[in-house]
Structure 1
């Protein structure tokens, strides 16, 4: 199975450790990826990625986006 690995700061790692147990990380990040892929397919990757990078939308909007 393919894996996704990213570098994050120690601060972000500690914060994630406080709120997500190891097994729950897989669930949450898969949900985020599913929402990202769904919205990129529906609205265009450039539009969604641009809005995320510019911080015009966040997780809340990504899950229920209406563009």
Structure 2
């Protein structure tokens, strides 16, 4: 993979953008959890919201595959 990053400029740009996007997603998750806790001051509600986000992420893996398969 590192050889591909060295040789292919477009793949390198795509890889770097994906890494930056992933970091942004993690920062968003942490900031969103902190914001909910600040407004509610309840760890229970914060964990509920985090659990719902995880369930939606898990479901989206399967639904995106189904949509890609059927959308031809």
Q: Which has the larger radius of gyration?
A: 2
Do these two structures clear the TM 0.5 threshold for a shared fold by scoring above it?
no
Q: Which has the higher contact order (CA 8 A, sep 6+)?
A: 1
Compare the two structures and name the one with the higher helix fraction: 2
TM-score w.r.t. the length of structure 1 is: 0.39
* TM-score, structure 2 as length reference: 0.37
